[in-house]
Amino acid sequence: MQVWRALAELRAGEPVSYSELATRIGRPGAARAVASAVAANPVPVLLPCHRVIRRNGQIGQYIGGASRKRDLLAHERIERSNPHVRERP
């Protein structure tokens, strides 16, 4: 649940590594457990698990495939850089 709450707080277009997400929830040594929780996300549309990437910058796996994950991240970066698009709270 901690991981899923942390996923809900991630900002669009700003990927975070599994180890960074583990640190954010106060469990810096739990990157593998975080990865397991991310993979078990039952609602990827609501909890943006596509924003979690590997520490080395690689995309990693995604329920919809790596290319879809890459596309989602690119789309969010474009939206954030567009001054006419307001960020959602």
Hey, where are the domains in the chain?
2-81
Fold of 2-81: Arc Repressor Mutant, subunit A (1.10.10)
pLDDT above 70: residue 89: no
Summarised one tens digit per residue, pLDDT across range 17-67 is 999 999 999 999 999 999 999 999 999 878 999 999 999 999 988 888 999
Cα R_g (the chain), whole angstroms: 13
Q: Catalytic pick from 34, 38, 49, 73? A: 49
Nearest to 52, CA basis, from 43, 61, 64: 61
Output the pLDDT for position 84: 67
The pLDDT of residue 45: 77
Closest Cα partner for 59 from 48, 76, 71? 71
Q: In angstroms, how far is CA 45 from the centroid of its own chain?
A: 11
Question: Would you call 49 a catalytic residue per the annotation?
Answer: yes
Least Cα distance to 81 among 18, 64, 73, 26 occurs for: 73
- The encoded tokens of residue 61 equal 């796996």
